[in-house]
């Protein structure tokens, strides 16, 4: 696994609106891996705010994402990341040689209540835990 100049792997989570899945994934990775992994998230067509149900679902597990804002996907964000994980954004993510690309097929929490978002949150946590085992195993909490 290539590493950024800081000596730690970097991960970019991408979904269409950067309002639900990618925000939850970034929060889980930052929470579980701490400062051992550089975390970014972005959207191919960012929304105006983070999904309130995603904010509530993450708050239930003690992670506050209420201050996060959707960010636009840039070529630089992909270029600067070792692993790019897409979540239903298709082929809008630019591809660079030497990067690792994963696609996580997850339900879109947009427009759903917290009851529907909880299982997505928990599935993302399991995927993130597996990712940490691969790229930064000593960082697992």
User: What residues are annotated to the active site?
Assistant: 15, 89, 93
Whole-angstrom distance, CA of residue 15 vs CA of residue 102: 12
Q: Give backbone dihedrals phi and psi of 135, rounded to 5 degrees, phi first.
A: -100, -20
Strand residue runs (E) in 36-119:
38-43, 83-86, 100-103
At a CB cut-off of 8 Å and minimum separation 6, what does 108 contact?
15, 16, 20, 21, 88
């Amino acid at each position: 696994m290539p590493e950024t100049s800081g000596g730690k792997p970097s991960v970019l989570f991408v979904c269409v609106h950067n309002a639900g899945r990618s925000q939850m994934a970034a929060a889980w990775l930052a929470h579980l891996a701490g400062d051992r992994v550089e975390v970014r998230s972005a959207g191919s067509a960012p929304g105006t705010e983070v999904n309130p149900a995603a904010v509530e679902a993450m708050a239930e597990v003690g992670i506050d994402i209420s201050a996060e804002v959707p960010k636009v996907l840039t070529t630089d964000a992909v270029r600067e990341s070792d692993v790019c994980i897409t979540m239903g954004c298709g082929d809008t993510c630019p591809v660079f040689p030497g990067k690792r690309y994963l696609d996580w097929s997850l339900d879109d929490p947009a427009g759903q209540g917290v009851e529907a978002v909880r299982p997505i949150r928990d599935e993302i946590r399991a995927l993130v835990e597996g990712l940490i085992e691969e790229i930064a195993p000593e960082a697992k909490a």
